[in-house]
A and B are shown apart, each in its own frame.
Chain A
């Protein structure tokens, strides 16, 4: 875990990187035509980034150790189902987190 000063430095770096991303088109393009690669990025990057973020905890899970990723998998499925059903982010997140806390307590060692 990063210390508070390290996290602060990292936050400054993040702020600079994000400002750079947002300023990029204003620095380099005149505004008439979208470069092909950027329209590809605009269309697909959110999908790729969110999938990678959502699945990262599963990819790093230790399946052979009890409870074999069961809380993560079941709570994750609940989030997907709740979201397809209600399409309310708050309901899906609270439902999934609640389910996870319960399962971890029941199945946890």
Chain B
């Protein structure tokens, strides 16, 4: 209570950001390593972590760069893979709106993890601009620091480490398993799996990735729609 308000916000923000600290430093490290290992300079890795600041999207970005994807494909895949972020802001419109000066940065820095921390924070914390800013900025600091360490480590290793690419694939498998555990459903995963194998029958590389995701989203959206309709119909009968 004796502490000035700003210091108080920072210390409570730091406490709530500790789980993200470990995750962001390691995943950021992996990103920096991957970028440099694929022949991109340290500064580009850092640039992406400062200005793109989106975990999975940056990893996907590197794999698209390596695949030689076109700008249109990169934009499309990034859009489809990140449109979920549009849903995050919805629950934060009121609390961000109360702090117009820092609002642009808060919106820019709204990653999955920052959203998770902010949306589960206490109401009085969420009303505190200092807390919102500190959580967002600390998380980005962890991410950029991890990237810097990984990129430096990558530039110390001579040549390309064979098999390191699989680490990226392993990360996506881990994230998919996490989603299975979260949703406790198998249908969306079956649809996505079939869609991606089907998409690779039609085209190659990053285009197939975007197509697979679009097919899967469309099928699941239609399925969901008909099911809600049916449920409503049953209710009326």
Contacts and interface: CB of A to CB of B under 8 A. Distances in A.
A83 B97 CA distance: 39
Contact of A2 (B65, B84, B172, B176): B65
A64 B170 CA distance: 23
B86 A79 contact: no
A109 interface: no
Contacts of B74: 10, 13-14
Nearest to B96: A26
B18 to A, nearest CB: 16
A1 B82 CA distance: 23
A54 to B, nearest CB: 4
Contacts of A19: 107-108
Interface string A92-109: 111011001100100000
B52 A15 contact: yes
Contact of A80 (B23, B103, B173): B173
B121 interface: no
Please classify how large the interface on chain B is, using the bins under 10, 10 to 19, 20 to 34, 35 or more: 35 or more
Interface string A26-50: 1001110010011111111111111
Q: Could you say which of B53, B85, B195 has the most chain A C-beta atoms within 10 Å of its C-beta?
A: B85
Contacts, number: 255
B174 A41 contact: no
Contact of A31 (B84, B94, B179): B94
B83 A41 contact: yes
B157 interface: no
A48 B56 CA distance: 13
B196 A51 contact: yes
Given A17-B82, A25-B90, A100-B166, A83 B173 contact: yes
B204 A40 contact: no
A7 to B, nearest CB: 5
Interface of B: 23, 26-27, 30, 38-41, 44, 47-48, 51-54, 56-58, 60-61, 64-69, 71, 74-75, 78-91, 93-94, 96-97, 103, 107-108, 110, 112, 162-164, 166-167, 169-180, 182-183, 188-189, 191-193, 195-197, 199-200, 204-205, 208-209, 212-213, 216-217, 220-221, 224
Name the 6 nearest CB pairs between A and B, nearest first: A31-B93, A42-B87, A51-B192, A101-B163, A25-B89, A96-B170
Given A47-B183, A48-B220, A56-B209, 16 more contacts: A13-B78, A14-B52, A14-B54, A15-B52, A17-B79, A18-B54, A18-B78, A26-B89, A42-B87, A47-B176, A56-B212, A59-B197, A59-B200, A59-B208, A93-B170, A101-B162
12 contacts: A13-B74, A18-B57, A23-B89, A34-B91, A46-B112, A46-B175, A49-B84, A52-B209, A53-B209, A75-B166, A89-B26, A104-B162
Interface of A: 1-2, 4, 6-15, 17-26, 29-31, 34, 37-60, 72, 75-76, 79-80, 83-84, 89-90, 92-94, 96-97, 100-101, 104
